[in-house]
Structure 1
């Protein structure tokens, strides 16, 4: 069966998931995560993509990205994936692939969906039962969105800026958003969109 054509539009956010091959870990410790964050920062600068939310789980990554032009996110993921795999393999004395064959992504084409996607990403550690407090998980954007710290990786999306007139107001509003009960149907809907292979991004 032919692949779906890529839905890749400039200035429209995409929710991207990058998974470890066979669901195996892609981060073995915090040094791996620090390397990934550094390479992500470099790839964002190189491609001019904007990152609005992220979480680094043990065996997968969620990124909410806005590209400046078609193909920019594919370029970012290719650059990031290849560089990270090279460093990961050298550090851990392994060879071969690390990522699944293709990254999954879907368009996030409304402001309300952008905020739901923020929440879905930032609550990943809660759903995985890694922590009971999303702000205590170091490797996500939750703490920055809540106004507890600055994160140089992030560019605030207009939908996030619209929830408050000041950083303090936005932090308060976002903490309230994360505290809302999320229905099983909404969580299923958010997750199921990523089962569709909207892109054909290369992986290392």
Structure 2
């Protein structure tokens, strides 16, 4: 199946995964994680990109981000993040060459139905990998910042989906904790995972048709694995 060019739309959330070159380790020590999070916090402002969730794993990163009116900002953000991490590791290890795969994976996400689900998918990644028993135990994701445990929690962006969780920050945080702790269906996991792997869309058929009209191209391969209804 030929690879389709990446589709990026302004003001839409995008689920991003970028892996280390040949799946090599990209985060070996706490300082590595801290530097990437610091760079993400700084560069999202430079390129006008909203950040809803993140999780830094040993050899890859998950991000849920939305470019502003300039869709190009997303690619510029990813390029700048990768370049900074590569320069840092090369200086540290006295090496040359790339740290990351040349092409990151991306899926446009339907906000009202799948944005929170993608946040949960991202922040539970260390739990599914059996690295921790709960999202709160993992230091290198957005979960603790989102629920107000981290002292530096003010830089994550709020979509309307988060605001609907409660009237106050405290209520939203408690509702979000409950949401993350809920059992996740296999259908939800499959929808998010396949959309990301195929570079397709995370959403209902109506959303897929809407985005394809906006983009002016066929994005989804109308076959196995495509969400079947608006349920």
1:131 and 2:136 are equivalent in the alignment: no
Q: Is the 8 A contact 1:147 1:170 kept in 2?
A: no
Aligned to 1:79: 80
Provide the alpha-carbon RMSD of the alignment.
Answer: 1.6
Q: Distance in 2 between matches of 1:114 and 1:82?
A: 28
1:101 and 2:97 are equivalent in the alignment: no
Q: Distance in 1 between matches of 2:35 and 2:149?
A: 23
Aligned to 1:63: 63
What TM-score do the two structures reach when normalised by structure 1?
Answer: 0.91
1:34-183 alignment runs, 5 A limit: 34-68=34-68, 69-149=70-150, 150-183=152-185
Aligned to 1:16: 16
What TM-score do the two structures reach when normalised by structure 2?
Answer: 0.81
Unaligned 5+ residue runs, structure 2? Answer: 201-231
Q: Distance in 2 between matches of 1:140 and 1:50?
A: 16
Q: Distance in 2 between matches of 1:73 and 1:3?
A: 20
Q: Distance in 1 between matches of 2:77 and 2:55?
A: 17
Unaligned 5+ residue runs, structure 1? Answer: 199-204
Greater gyration radius: 2
Q: Is the 8 A contact 2:6 2:106 kept in 1?
A: no
Q: Distance in 2 between matches of 1:125 and 1:168?
A: 25
Q: Distance in 1 between matches of 2:67 and 2:180?
A: 26
Q: Cα offset for 1:188?
A: 2.1
Runs of 4+, deviation exceeding 4 Å? none
